[in-house]
Chain A
């Protein structure tokens, strides 16, 4: 995930300081990993160095001094460009789930692979229930629903794969141990 571009996007509406950016990030991208302050400031530092943002004043309201950042023209251009770039569909199959099944067959046997698949399914179902509760909650925002939908779709894809792979474990074992 490109935190830098998300920060540029959050600055598109006007100057904000670091704390504000962190809050806006966590609110607009619910269910995402909350942004750490350290990461906000280190990312802003890099964006400033590259000329995409600049400091636009200090603010001191009783609390500690806070620096506001603003988007530069070059930052605005960079952001516009990012929005037109297509994210390439993953060119490699990199899944720990898949690797674990193959390694279970190499290092142990089909039962080990099946036990793993069953335990993984159960964990996925638990998470699916949690996310379904998140999006069904009375106060859920559209952002909550869209975020949960994304995760639910991916868990569902994994679950389908777990199920079909279970049916193929014996054949896969023959192949990897041949």
Chain B
């Protein structure tokens, strides 16, 4: 087993009086897919946001390649999200005023790539996820499945080392969800990208190498995610 690429240790996070995470440990190795599952409200999205450096944990550390990114400035963490990390949010993905290709090219432009180079890479990634035909359409004119494929392309366009995916198939019907999962897994295996995969669906979690079950903000060793009442 190689040294972990990303390690969260003792992560806690409160929203005001609501404790969302109560000391979670999770580590992900290079190229590994780890599913985070558990019932609604157990803290999955909060954990993903802490690991991706979108939220700062109240206590505990998030170490990426020997660096405690929890201590980094907001600016440094958002640079990380434009290079080494790719994020697929649970809600609200695409910029509605931009075409699919412009959406996918955006992270590269923000990271300083030239326009033509960014557009070419965006088109290649849209093609990889089977949505090259909607490259010049606005998100509003696309189906949910097409938007989600574009969102995955945008999260992968910088060829991140870790992809954070929050319910990547949550809004899709079964067949579409499955095609999107297959496309994600194929791409990350080819790229050697590690994935933190948040889902409450067992068939989606089954794409992962390993599963962590959360219950009330803590890791549930029984895996059931439901407590005795």
Contacts and interface: CB of A to CB of B under 8 A. Distances in A.
A110 B229 CA distance: 12
B142 interface: no
Contacts of A131: 206
Question: DSSP class of A's interface residues: helix, strand, loop or mixed?
Answer: helix
A136 B203 contact: no
A132 B208 CA distance: 10
Given A118-B222, A125-B205, A125-B206, A170 B228 contact: yes
Given A156-B202, A162-B224, A125 B211 contact: yes
B132 interface: no
Interface string A158-175: 011011001101110000
A40 interface: no
A76 interface: no
Interface in A112-147: 114, 117-118, 121-122, 124-125, 128-129, 131-132, 136
Nearest to B182: A136
B114 interface: no
A124 B203 CA distance: 11
A47 interface: no
Interface string B201-229: 11101111001000000000011111011
Interface string A71-112: 000000000000000000000000000000000000000100
A6 B192 CA distance: 44
Contact of A163 (B206, B208, B211, B224): B224
Interface residues of A, number: 25
B185 A125 contact: no
Contacts of A129: 206, 208
B202 A114 contact: no
Contacts of B206: 125, 128-129, 131-132, 152
Given A122-B223, A136-B185, A156 B228 contact: no
A169 B185 CA distance: 36
Q: Which of B208, B211, B224, B225 has the most CB of A within 10 A?
A: B224
Given A114-B228, A136-B182, A169-B228, A121 B203 contact: no
Contacts of B224: 114, 117-118, 121, 162-163, 166
25 contacts: A110-B228, A114-B222, A114-B224, A117-B224, A118-B222, A118-B223, A122-B223, A125-B205, A125-B206, A125-B211, A128-B203, A128-B205, A129-B206, A129-B208, A132-B206, A132-B207, A155-B202, A156-B201, A156-B203, A162-B224, A163-B224, A163-B226, A166-B224, A169-B228, A170-B228
